[in-house]
């Protein structure tokens, strides 16, 4: 088939690579978000998908909005059979959805209908799911509600951050998306409507969502830290400034600390929660690089009974 691939961040690159490498389909163009400011200089930088497409000599389309008439005219001119999508980052209007004969097929990083929305992997980790996965589905105007072509499952490991899990799903999902394109072309795959039961939503995680509540149980604190790593980053307050929590671990045998209460030894930093303690392993003070929590604690000289979160 002739394909136009839509995607933007690094997590979409493995799928683009898989489609290019398959040799079975022609990736005629790539649609991605416009260049965005990045770094201290805030200079405009192309998306990872745009960079990879340019390396491969593939035409890159960067519409401000996918309903822009110039973009739609070019899409109709290319006349793709199908448009595979991975984390494109913009809603596709019906006028764009109607262009490819076999539609737009999205690779979504959850087992639909669970975790429809922008942040399925983060929500899966924060909810304590033991198993998640990826799904390919035909895009409709509803939010991730279209019929499903294929799925794969992936174990959520006890120490997984959302970044760890998303990386594994990006590579496994690349194979699923390529296989879905093959199955659509040869007629062996047919989309099946999603069940009405089991729908959960996964909206974007905000900075406010990532603030750790020390009155919560230790397992909840651990899930928030892992689910918000690397972005937007779990955080708390220490002496009125934000302290990012990069890595932590529940300590099941320590229950002597009040919620938010700090206890620092030579090589360990513990903080109380609504149940047992959590050990802080890596933190990032405001304006500084990540560091071992024990080194941070020595530098700030934590007082007896001092609290996080105030």
Residues placed in the known binding site for (6S)-5,6,7,8-tetrahydrofolate: 110-113
Contacts (Cβ under 8 Å, ≥6 apart) of 153: 111, 131, 132, 133
**In this structure, are residues 195 and 113 in contact, taking their beta carbons and an 8 Å threshold?**
yes
User: Angle at CA 38, nearest 5°, toward 32 and 44?
Assistant: 60
Residue for token pair 């770094």: 39
Beta bridge partners of 235: 211, 244
- Residue 111, SS3? coil
DSSP annotation of 75 = H
Contacts (Cβ under 8 Å, ≥6 apart) of 29: 4, 5, 58, 59, 60, 61, 74, 78, 80
Beta strand 131-138 with 104-108 is antiparallel
- State the distance between the two ends of the chain, measured CA to CA, in whole angstroms: 58
**Rounded Cα–Cα distance for residues 107 and 14 (Å):** 12
Beta strand 83-86 with 2-7 is parallel
CB-based burial, 74-112: b 16+ in 10 Å, e otherwise: bbeebebbbbbbbbbebebeeebbebbeebbbbbbbbbb
Tokens of 53: 């497409």
Residue 298 to residues 214, 267, 273, 301, Cα–Cα distance (Å) = 22, 9, 22, 5
């Amino acid at each position: 088939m002739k394909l136009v691939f839509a995607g933007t961040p690094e997590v979409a690159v493995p799928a683009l690579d898989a489609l290019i490498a398959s040799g079975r389909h022609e990736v005629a163009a790539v649609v991605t978000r416009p260049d965005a400011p990045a770094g201290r200089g805030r200079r405009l930088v192309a998306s990872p998908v745009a960079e990879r497409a340019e390396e491969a000599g593939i035409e890159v389309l960067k519409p401000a909005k996918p309903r822009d008439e110039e973009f739609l005219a070019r899409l109709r001119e290319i006349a793709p059979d199908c448009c595979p999508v991975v984390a494109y980052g913009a809603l596709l209007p019906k006028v764009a959805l109607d262009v490819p004969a076999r539609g737009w097929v999205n690779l979504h990083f959850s087992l639909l209908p669970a975790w429809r929305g922008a942040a399925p992997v983060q929500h899966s980790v924060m909810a304590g799911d033991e198993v998640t996965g990826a799904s390919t589905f035909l895009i409709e105007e509803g939010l991730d509600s279209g019929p499903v072509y294929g799925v794969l499952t992936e174990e959520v490991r006890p120490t997984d951050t959302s970044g760890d899990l998303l990386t594994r799903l990006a590579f496994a999902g690349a194979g699923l998306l390529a296989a879905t394109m093959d199955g659509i072309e040869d007629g062996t795959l047919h989309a099946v409507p999603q069940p009405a039961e089991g729908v959960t939503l996964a909206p974007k995680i905000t900075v406010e969502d990532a603030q750790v509540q020390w009155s919560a149980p230790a397992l909840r604190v651990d899930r928030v830290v892992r689910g918000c790593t690397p972005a937007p980053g779990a955080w708390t307050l220490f002496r009125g400034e934000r302290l990012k929590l990069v890595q932590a671990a529940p300590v099941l045998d320590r229950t002597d600390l009040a919620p938010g209460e700090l206890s620092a030894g030579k090589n360990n930093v513990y903080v109380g929660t609504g149940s047992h303690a959590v050990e802080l392993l890596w933190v990032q003070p405001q304006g500084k690089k990540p560091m071992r929590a024990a080194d941070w604690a020595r530098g700030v000289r934590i007082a007896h009974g001092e609290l996080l979160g105030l």
